[in-house]
Amino acid sequence: VEQGANTHPEVVSALVAMCLASGARQVVVTDNPCDPWVATSVSSGIADAVRDAGGILRGPGPYRRVSIPGAKVLTEANVLEEVMAADVVINVPVVKVHGSQARVTISLKNLMGVVMDRGYFHRTDLSRCIAEIAGFIRPCLTVLDATRILLSRGPAGPGEVRVLGTVAAGTDFVALDAFGATLLGVKPEDVRHIQIAG
C-alpha cells in the first residue's frame, strides 16, 4: 500500500460495501497482477479488505476467447470469464506512472488485467491494444484511486509517492484518465492510448 502500486484496500473495501448496500446480490473482486495473484492479494491488503466488506475474491481465470469488434490490432483475446459474465463491471485503478511507452497506468491500462496474454500488447501496438480492450469491456463505472499516487519507478515501485487523499468516479474513463494524468504531471495529449480511446 505504501508504494502506491496497487489500489488502496480501503477504497476497495468501501466500494464493495457500497455495492452491497445498494442491493448487489454479490460483489466479486478479481485481478490479474503481474506478480503471483495469491501473494499479491494478501500483501496488498486487498484479500482482507474484500473479505471484511462481504465481497468475494477470485483469482484470474478461466478465460474465454472472444472477438473484439472494430479492433485493428487486438482482434481477438482471451478475456476473464468473470468479467464477461458480470452484470456490472466497475474498474478501480490506482493512479501511477509507467516506465513503458504507456507513460501512465490508470483506468484504460488497468483493463489489460482482464486479458490473459498481455505480452501481445507489448509485441504489437501497446497503446492501440489498451484502447481496444477498453472499448470492448467498457466498465459501467470507473473509480479512480488517487488517495496516493506513484510518481516514479512505476508500475511496481518503490518510487516517489504523493498522498492526495482523492477519489474520483464517473462513467467516462477517458476523461478520468486525462484527469489522472494531470495529477502525475503528464499531459493527456502526450499519452497515446488516451488519445486513441478518446
Tell me the sheet residues that pair with 80. 63
Q: For cell 478461466, what's the residue?
A: 62
For the chain, what's the residue count?
198
**pLDDT score, position 1:** 58
Kindly report the pTM of this predicted structure: 0.92
Query: For the segment 103-125, what is each residue's pLDDT rounded down to a tens digit?
Result: 999 999 999 999 999 899 999 99
Q: Quick: pLDDT tens for 170-193.
A: 999 999 999 999 999 999 999 999
Q: Is the pLDDT of residue 100 over 80?
A: no
**Which residues have a Cβ under 8 Å from the Cβ of 80 and sit 6 or more positions away?**
30, 32, 60, 61, 62, 63, 64, 114, 115, 116
Residues 126-173: tens digit of each pLDDT: 999 999 999 999 899 999 999 999 999 888 888 999 999 999 999 999
pLDDT above 90: percentage of residues in the chain: 81
